[in-house]
């Protein structure tokens, strides 16, 4: 089955949607299979990160903003805003798609893993994530 | 079904093959499923990027070449040429595989998304991409 | 089928497990299909790299350690050790999941490609990798 999940991102940063995804897996009825995701945007990413301590997410976001700052003189693609080209670069450095095995009807994640949509633009919007689940 | 796509890359940079891939999806006859890709080289990557404005691709390429320059004194793996070790690093920082859901017989990409083979070496060559499509 | 592979990593660096994975593909009996992997940790990654010359792996590791050093004043997430936050960042910059087509009963890798678990922490441990294989 293929469904489009919609994840609200209010600002730059990591937004967890593990629960939304887990609900979809349950609804699919798949006991043993694969759950594959694609974010349908080039200025946001998918990442699996620690779901325990928010400071890890904050450090990750700050580190990435330092590596890929706005206003770099190298950029020529600037008409969509100062955060646009950094967003494309961050998207290339992280992941657009993920594949997560399903076992016993559940996402086969590690104990501390959460699934996140990483918003790279400042403005809030909804991000569409195409999800395929099969056996 | 599994098929090997061949993408011609004439130089460093991003080479779109969305149309080639879409044709394969049509030929597979799969209406709802998953299209998974693996580039069979460690000096090229797969990436999904904006297909509208070429300046985004140029900036991405230039930014990456600044982050991972040739001639870095750190490299010991140099006998295959000055662009070889940077190519391996760029490959590690980006993606070797991608998974794209298929819906209504088409790749379930966002409006502005294209699928690219990212060539990290200077010389032109053909890059093989293994593609799996199933339901 | 879904199975959990266990890969021993004795220290920071890339640990190849292509043979372990190939054995699983053989055991699955799948002739044409897809092998998808997820590392169940946020301080280790999966990567496909050159399996010929160890110097490429060493350079990759040294380059990444220079890009993401320990002791960066930016980090606030430090109570799990100096190598913890760099591990999360390296995990975000590389890949948590991979998809490899299977053809003629074998992983459809390029001639020089090996599949690696990239350990980002200093201490040795076992890393669990969830593997899904289907047609």
How confident is residue A97, by pLDDT bands cut at 50, 70 and 90?
A: very high
Q: How far is B131 from chain C (nearest CA, A)?
A: 7
pLDDT in tens, C4-43: 999 999 899 999 999 999 999 999 999 999 999 999 999 9
How far apart, in whole angstroms, are the C-alpha atoms of residue C134 and residue A100?
13
- Residue in A closest to B61 by C-alpha: A89
Contact call for A99 and C1, based on CB within 8 A: no
Asked if pLDDT for residue C124 goes beyond 80, the answer is: no
The pLDDT of residue C134: 95
Picking from C30, C96, C99, C120 by the largest number of B CB atoms within 10 A of its own CB, the best residue to mutate is C99
Task: Give yes or no for a contact between B64 and A93, defined as CB atoms under 8 angstroms apart.
Answer: no
- Asked if residue B20 lies in contact with residue B114, where contact means CB atoms within 8 angstroms, the answer is no
| Whole-number pLDDT of residue B52 | 85
C2-134 domain in CATH 2.60.120.460? yes
Min mean pLDDT across B36-40, B104-108, C51-55, C85-89 is at C51-55
Query: Among all chains, which residue has been given the structure tokens 């990442």?
Result: A47
pLDDT score at A34: 98
Residue A39: DSSP 8-state: E
**C9 interfacial to chain A (CB closer than 8 Å):** no
* ipTM of the prediction: 0.96
Residue C101 backbone class (left: φ over 0; alpha: ψ -120 to 50; beta: rest): beta
B residues 27-56 near C, CB within 8 Å? Answer: 34, 36-42
Between vectors from CA A107 to CA A106 and to CA A111, what angle results, nearest 5°? 105
Q: What is the mean pLDDT of chain A?
A: 96
Over residues C92-106, the mean pLDDT reads: 98
pLDDT of A99 > 90? The answer is yes
- Which of B42, B76, B77 lies at the smallest CB-CB distance from C113? B42
Assign B13 to helix, strand or coil. strand
- Residue-wise pLDDT for C36-46, tens only, equals 999 999 999 99
Domain ranges of chain B: 2-134
Whole-angstrom Cα distance, residue C88 to residue C69? 12
Please judge whether A92 and B53 are an interchain contact, meaning their C-beta atoms are less than 8 angstroms apart: no
Provide mean pLDDT across the span B92-117: 98
pLDDT at B124 over 80: no
pLDDT of residue A10: 86
Average pLDDT, chain C: 96
Q: Which of A57-61, A106-110, B13-17, B51-55 has the lowest mean pLDDT?
A: B51-55
Are residues C34 and B77, on separate chains, in Cβ contact within 8 Å?
no
Average pLDDT of span A33-37: 98
Dihedrals phi, psi of C126, to nearest 5 degrees? -100, 135
Evaluate if residue A124 carries a pLDDT over 80: no
What's the pLDDT at B94?
98
- What pTM, to 2 d.p., does this model score? 0.97
Q: What is the mean pLDDT of chain B?
A: 96
Of the partner residues A40, A68, A74, the one whose CB lies closest to the CB of residue B110 = A40
């Amino acid at each position: 089955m293929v469904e489009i999940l919609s994840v609200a991102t209010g600002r730059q940063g990591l937004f967890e949607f593990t629960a939304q995804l887990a609900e979809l897996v349950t609804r699919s009825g798949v006991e043993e299979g694969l759950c594959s995701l694609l974010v349908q945007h080039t200025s946001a990413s998918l990442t699996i990160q620690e779901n325990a301590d928010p400071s890890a997410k904050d450090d990750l976001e700050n580190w990435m903003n330092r590596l890929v700052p706005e206003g770099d003189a190298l950029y020529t693609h600037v008409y969509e805003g100062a955060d646009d080209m950094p967003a494309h670069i961050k998207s290339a450095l992280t992941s657009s798609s993920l594949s997560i095995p399903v076992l016993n009807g559940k996402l086969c994640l590690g104990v501390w893993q959460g699934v996140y949509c990483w918003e790279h633009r400042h403005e809030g919007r909804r991000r569409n994530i195409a999800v395929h689940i099969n056996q």
